Amino acid sequence: MSEKGQLESKKGARGVVPAIGIDLGTTYSCVGFWQHGQVEIIPNDLGNRTTPSCVAFTEAERLIGEGAKNQIAMNPSYTIFDAKRLIGKRFSDVTVQNDMKLWPFKVINGTSDIPKIVVTYKGEEKQFTAEEISAMILAKMKDVAEAFLGKLVEDAVITVPAYFNDSQCQATKDAGYVAGLNVLQIINEPTAAAIAYGLDMINDITCETNVLIFDLGGGEVGVPFEPSFVICTLSPSD
C-alpha cells in the first residue's frame, strides 16, 4: 500500500479530530480542544498541562519538553530555548544581537541574514532555523493531542504575541506546516484570552462591558486595548 493509502487507512480507522488550539509559548507550550462547551487543555505524557518549549540535542537522541529542560545544566550549548524570540527575525536585528549575549547556545548568520542555531547531534554539526526548532515543539504538541484523543490531528489554530509582525506570523505558520499541521489561523494571544473569557462568561455578562486583557507570558507581557473588539455567540439558525 502506498504512503498515501496507509494514511487514508489510518484516518478511516482512528478518525480525525476537529481543530486543536496550540499556545506556542516562549517558555512553555500547551494544546487544547473544544469539548462539552469548553476548552480542555490536554496533559502530556507526564501528566503536565504545559510542556517546556525546549529542544535538546545529544550524542544519542533529540529531546523535547521536560526531558530537554531537565538536562540543560549538563548540556547548555545544545539545549535550545527562546526560539520564539528568533522566529521571523533577521540576524542583524538589534533584539537578536542582544538576546544572543544571554543564550548559551550558538547562533550564526546564515544565508540572507537568517539566523541559524548550531548544535552537535549524534556526532555531527547541524544548523537549524528558529522555524525548524518551533516545528519540533509544535510536532510534540500534535503528538500529545493525538495520544490523548486517540485520533489523527490535522488542523490547528496557533497563538502568537500581539506584537508579532507579518514575517513572524508567517514563519510561525510555516513551522506548523513543517510539523504536519494545517494551520487554519494565526491569532494573537490577548485575543485568544478575550475569546476564552467571553465563552466562559457568556451567561454572566448581561450588558456591554469593558474588560482589560492582561497576557502574562514567560517571555513577554501584553496589555492591549481594543475598544472595537466584541464577543458574541451565534445560534444554530444564524
The per-residue pLDDT for range 1-35, each reduced to its tens digit, is 444 444 443 444 456 678 999 999 999 999 999 88
Round the average pLDDT of the chain to a whole number and report it.
85
Quick check: is 189 catalytic?
Answer: yes
pLDDT in tens, 116-155: 999 999 999 999 999 999 999 999 999 999 999 999 999 9
Active site residue 215: yes
Q: Is 45 tagged catalytic?
A: no
Catalytic position from the list 82, 131, 174, 189: 189
In contact, 81 and 51? CB cutoff 8 Å? no
The predicted structure's pLDDT at residue 195: 75
Min mean pLDDT across 87-96, 162-171, 200-209 is at 200-209
Residue 101: count other Cβ atoms within 10 Å of its Cβ: 6
pLDDT tens per residue, range 100-127: 999 999 999 999 999 999 999 999 999 9
Q: Which residue in the list 131, 132, 174, 215 is annotated as catalytic?
A: 215
All structural domains of the chain: 3-191 (3.30.420.40)
**Whether the predicted model's global pTM rises above the 0.85 cut:** no
Looking at residues 204-219, what average pLDDT do you find? 66
Which stretch of DSSP H or E encloses residue 186?
Answer: strand 182-188
Cell readout for 25 is 509559548
Q: Is 84 a catalytic residue?
A: yes
Selected residue with higher pLDDT from 37 and 50? 50
Residue 109: the pLDDT is: 98
Catalytic residue among 69, 84, 142, 173: 84
